[in-house]
Amino acid sequence: MTIRKVISEIDKLIPLQQAEDFDNVGLLCGVPDRNVSGILISHDVLENVVDEAIERNCNLIVCFHPIIFSGLKSLTGKNYVERVVLKAIENKIAIYAIHTAFDNDFFGVNHGICSQLGLKDLKILQPKENNLKQLTVFVPKEYSQKVKEAMFSAGAGNIGFYDECSFTVNGNGTFRPVEGSNPFSGQQNIRENADEDMISVIFESYKQGQIVGAMKAAHPYEEVAHQLYTLDNKNHHSGLGMYGDLEEEMNEKDFLKFVKEKFNLEIIKHSSFTQKKIKRVGVLGGSGASGIRSAISKKCDAYLTGDLKYHDYFLADSKMLLCDIGHYESEQFVTQQLFEILSQKFSTFAISKSIEKTNPVNYFI
């Protein structure tokens, strides 16, 4: 199987279109048409990880953080980024980064954190906006099912944990073919009355091209009457962060001890105690200061993330316990999650988890 085919299959599981606009995800280096000998999954890609891939005969590294984030103007090995990319290219190893596409995935980074904490009734903390569209198309009744099936196959009608969702209304449509037309039914210059269904489906905006294309390919009309709308509805199954409830509430100190044990932490930085019980917990893996206000609005009692700055702690405002558990530490389950996802998908070649340390932060206790 080629690298191109492998990353195409990965994209079906974790679409790169879910990633944030600022991010640099996808195939960062490597020849797409080269056959895959093995996959190494890592959190970051450093020189020691590339060495590990060479030793394990893996020519595709699937990583969380992209090694190339901003533009490279040269490749001379003058810094760690250039050295990694050079070594990968010289050894014919491709690097594919997934980053915020997995952050925004319902079963991604933040779902892993919530699972570790045993949270229930999980919801997205910051649902994606301007992410949903609606397609309405008018179809001859006898072709209604065929067109619906084509749109479903292209990804339309997936709403949360439901798929093949649509709404159909029957009615009477009129049209008059004029000179130059080649009508599916009726005659030129004579008004035609047609028994038609109006079909509506909802989809994520990045699927628009494939869905409209599939719809038109299945539609019998020469000119297809259809309408596209951008919805104000938020996508409550995609976005940054998550929140849920503990099975049983606990006091703040017991909660911090619980988190420290579950994440194998040496230290937790936190805001002032609120003297409230902890029941609802918000999480956002990585740098999550942007989610503080959202967590407060969702009435979270505690919020777990990383990379909080001095002034971020004031935002808690005695309403919530802020917990900075570390950037890497909050994302530490990603490698195992990706290993499980890809192992189920690919069985024809070896998939390995990197054992190399890539966390650049160390603690002196």
* Residue 65 annotated in ligand binding: yes
In the chain, list all ranges with CATH 3.40.1390.30. 3-102, 105-126+240-330
**The pLDDT of residue 349:** 81
Measured distance CA(249)–CA(252) in Å, rounded: 9
Instruction: Tell me: is residue 222 an annotated ligand-binding position.
Output: no
Burial of 169 (0-12, 13-18, 19+ CB in 10 A): exposed
Q: Per the CATH hierarchy, to which homologous superfamily does domain 3-102 belong?
A: NIF3 (NGG1p interacting factor 3)-like (3.40.1390.30)
Is the pLDDT score of 329 beyond 90? yes
236 is in an annotated binding site: no
Number of H helices, E strands in the chain: 11, 15
111 carries a ligand binding annotation: no
CATH number for region 105-126+240-330: 3.40.1390.30
Mean of all residue pLDDT scores within the chain: 96
pLDDT-based confidence at residue 92 (cuts at 50, 70, 90): very high
Give the global pTM. 0.92
- For the chain, where do the domains classified as CATH 3.30.70.120 start and end? 132-231
Which pair of structure tokens corresponds to residue 239? Answer: 């976005």
Which fold, 132-231? Alpha-Beta Plaits (3.30.70)
Strands ordered across the beta sheet of 235-250: 120-128, 235-250, 278-287, 302-306, 321-324, 269-270
What pLDDT, in 10s, does the model give residues 110-131? 999 999 999 999 999 999 999 9
Handedness of CA 70, 50, 351, 336 (dihedral sign): negative
